[in-house]
């Protein structure tokens, strides 16, 4: 059954959403209960190998760990990155074997990118528009997506509103796709046309840009300004207040 849990987590990571951490924790809790039930059933069968009661979950620790993960997430959303990192460190130190500790990995990876020197895009081909510089003083939003990803197909058109609203105020923006899983330029072009997406879109050359900015699940986004990463996360978590601060800061 643990293989099922790992499979579910990997599927979520392949096309992530803004509530990935909480969903992973919830799914692992369900799997843990299924495993506990299976162990109890096995214990009742004479001669069953390894038969015996399953180790009970420490619900108090799980609850305390969940509160720390929630606090870390809230601090990150408020761009209090040092506080968020401290909460995750506390979570891993006090409750390393809990579900929230395992679910905190994605947030920890995102936080690790913030503050890194920005690196310009490695682009194979521009599908529309011009690639912006990521090393100038302007705030630049980079979105990583694929045409086959359902969450991406929801978020990419929504970001058009962001581009329309803030490009005139100085925000640079670009979407990057690797065109994996048999995706074609024609499919991408048709999607952009149908959804009326006008901001620059490029095909990434290799995966050096994605790797540098810590992208393991999509959709993902990064904001760079003044030669460094100032934000990293799911594009749906990027608010107007954040963008206005990045542009005007």
Q: Could you tell me the domains of the chain? A: 2-45+58-113 (no CATH), 123-248 (3.40.30.10)
**Over the stretch 83-133, which tens digit does the pLDDT of each residue have?**
999 999 999 999 999 999 999 999 999 999 999 999 999 999 999 999 999
Q: What is the CA radius of gyration of the chain?
A: 21
pLDDT of residue 205: 94
Better-predicted residue by pLDDT, 51 or 216: 216
- The torsion angles phi and psi of 52, rounded to 5 degrees, stand at 165, 165
CA atoms of 146 and 148, how far apart (whole Å): 6
Strands 123-128 and 140-144: unpaired
First to last CA, the chain: 49
CA atoms of 9 and 197, how far apart (whole Å): 31
Place 58 in a pLDDT band, splitting at 50, 70 and 90. Answer: confident
Which range among 48-57, 150-159, 189-198 shows the weakest confidence by mean pLDDT? 48-57
Q: Does residue 5 surpass a pLDDT of 70?
A: no
Which range among 7-16, 68-77, 95-104, 191-200 shows the weakest confidence by mean pLDDT? 7-16
Threshold 0.85, pTM exceeds: no
* Residue 200 DSSP one-character state: -
Q: Does residue 165 surpass a pLDDT of 60?
A: yes
Better-predicted residue by pLDDT, 6 or 187: 187
Q: How much of the chain exceeds pLDDT 90, in percent?
A: 72
Q: How much of the chain exceeds pLDDT 70, in percent?
A: 77
Q: Nearest Cα to 124, choosing from 210, 191, 195, 198?
A: 210
Which range among 6-15, 16-25, 68-77, 149-158 shows the weakest confidence by mean pLDDT? 6-15
Output the six-digit token pair for 198: 């006008």
91 burial level (CB within 10 Å; 0-12, 13-18, 19+): buried
Arithmetic mean of pLDDT, 167-180: 95
**What is the average pLDDT value for the chain, to the nearest integer?**
84
pLDDT of residue 17: 57
């Amino acid at each position: 059954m643990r293989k099922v849990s790992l499979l579910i987590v990997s599927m979520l990571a392949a096309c992530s959403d803004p509530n990935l951490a909480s969903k992973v924790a919830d799914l692992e809790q369900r799997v843990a209960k299924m495993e506990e039930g299976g162990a109890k059933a096995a214990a009742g069968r004479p001669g069953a190998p390894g038969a015996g009661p399953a180790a009970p979950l420490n619900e108090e620790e799980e609850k305390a760990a969940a509160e720390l993960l929630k606090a870390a997430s809230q601090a990150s959303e408020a761009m209090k990155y040092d506080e968020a990192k401290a909460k995750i460190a506390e979570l891993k130190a006090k409750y390393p074997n809990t579900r929230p500790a395992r679910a905190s990995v994605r947030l920890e990876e995102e936080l690790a990118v913030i503050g890194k020197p920005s690196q310009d895009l490695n682009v194979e081909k521009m599908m529309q528009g011009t690639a912006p510089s990521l090393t100038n003083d302007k705030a630049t939003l980079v979105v990583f997506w694929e045409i086959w990803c359902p969450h991406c197909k929801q978020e990419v058109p929504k970001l058009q509103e962001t581009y329309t609203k803030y490009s005139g105020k100085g925000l640079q923006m670009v979407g990057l796709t690797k065109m994996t899983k048999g995706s074609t330029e024609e499919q991408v072009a048709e999607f952009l046309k149908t959804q009326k997406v006008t901001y620059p879109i490029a095909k990434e050359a290799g995966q050096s840009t994605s790797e540098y900015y810590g992208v393991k699940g999509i959709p993902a986004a990064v904001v760079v300004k003044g030669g460094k990463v100032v934000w990293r996360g799911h594009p749906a978590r990027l608010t107007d207040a954040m963008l206005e601060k990045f542009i005007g800061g």
